[in-house]
Structure formats: C-alpha cells, structure tokens
Amino acid sequence: MDAGPPPSIGASKHDRYIVAHAVFGSLAALILAPAAILIARYCRSWQHWNLAHTILNAFTVIFVIVAFALSNAVVHGEYSGEGADVHHQLGLAVFIIVLVQAILGLAAKVVRKPSFNYVTLQAKRHPLRLVHIVFGIATIALLYAQTYTGFDKWDMASESMTTVPRGITIAFWVIFAIEVAAYVVGWPLMEILGRKRRARELGSVPFAKEARSV
C-alpha cells in the first residue's frame, strides 16, 4: 500500500493559528525590536532617529499582542499546572514585560530632570531613561529565548506531525549572531568615537579664544 503525501505545515486550524503566531512573534523578536534598539544605538545623530525608534517599538508591541492572542486561541491559557511548559510561561512573561517596557519608553520621553551623565551615550539622561535602556536589552533577550523555545514547542505540538525546518533554525542563529554582535561592538566603538569627538572639541577651544582676541 502506497504511503500518503507527507503532512504539510498549517494543515489544521490549530497549526494555522500557530504558524501565524510564529510569524508575528518572529517578526517582533528578530526584526522590529532589534532594529529599534540598533537605531537607538547608532543613529542618534540622525534627526528622526527617535521617531523611527518609537514606530518600530510600537509595531513590536502590536505584533507581540497579536502573537499572544493567537497563542491563547489554541492553548487556552496553559500557563500553570500540568499543561504548562517553558514556552507558555516565558510567553506570558514576555507579553507583560513588553508592555511594561512600552510604558517605560513613553515615560522616558516625558521626563527631563534631574539629568544623569551617561558617558557612553554622550548625553545627559534622566535615570528613568537608563532603566528603559537596560530593560530594553533584557526584553530583547527574552524575545530571542521565546523564539527559540518555540521551535521545540512546534515539534511537540504540531497536529500535522511536522518539524521546524533546519533552515529556519540556522537562519535564527545567523540573525541572532549578527544582531548581538552589531550591538555589542557598538559599546566600545561609540566610546572611542565619543572620546575622539571630545578631544577635538577640547582642542578647538584655545583656537576659538585666540580668534576672538584678534
């Protein structure tokens, strides 16, 4: 007897919801949130960096909410007890933390004083803005972790008996490595550039005084 065709991803309603959940969650975790944080890291000299950062974070929040809603449509709130697992519990934590981070971001835009000298950013920042930055790094780390645990969850929960293609797993690690490296390299790079800029500014002061005296 000939074997039937192999099952396809998204063959059932359950799997279609999970595929949509994975798409929205992955876009938030691997594209939108990293883009927002990298723009804030490297593009502060750009006039519209703050607007771009805000828009990307807004879409991150929307996509996380949609992903969470799609997940709840099929798992029915399995966040504790025997039916719970790491992916479910981490997903709830990510959902809450992303909302908290959005509130911190809005609050950081409102507050102005007292300022705090944060040398790496080359600007005086309110402490709440520093909390927003640190919390943002923690948030994106959890988004990465949540995406990765979703691979195992799909293999266990798919009604079509399919597994996550190896290419998707490889793509995840490649994107993860590029984004983390881009952000980590930015710390010493921006510090070096900041020191050079300060040296140029200090070096130009005597010349400016001499020009005025002449």
Per-residue model confidence as pLDDT tens digits over 43-84: 877 888 889 999 999 999 999 999 999 988 877 656 666 667
122: region left, alpha or beta (phi > 0 left; psi from -120 to 50 alpha): left
Question: Residue 15 has which token pair?
Answer: 């799997």
Q: Phi and psi of 3, rounded to 5°?
A: -75, 145
Q: Phi and psi of 118, rounded to 5°?
A: -105, 95
CA distance 63 to 193: 35
- CA nearest to 37, candidates 170, 209, 160, 186: 186
pLDDT the model gives residue 162: 79
pLDDT the model gives residue 208: 47
> What is the per-residue burial (b if ≥16 Cβ within 10 Å, else e) of 76-111?
eebbeeeeebebbebbbebbebbeebbebbeebeee
pLDDT the model gives residue 78: 66
pLDDT lower than 70: segments of the chain: 1-11, 76-83, 111-126, 187, 189-214
Q: Burial of 150 by CB count in 10 Å (0-12 exposed, 13-18 middle, 19+ buried)? A: buried
CA distance 85 to 174: 26
CA distance 206 to 210: 6
pLDDT the model gives residue 29: 95
Residues forming beta bridges with residue 180, ordered by sequence position = none
Domains of the chain, earliest start first: 13-213 (1.20.120.1770)
pLDDT the model gives residue 200: 66
CA distance 148 to 172: 8
pLDDT the model gives residue 36: 93
Indicate the residue type of 148. Y
CA distance 28 to 35: 10
pLDDT the model gives residue 132: 80
pLDDT the model gives residue 198: 62
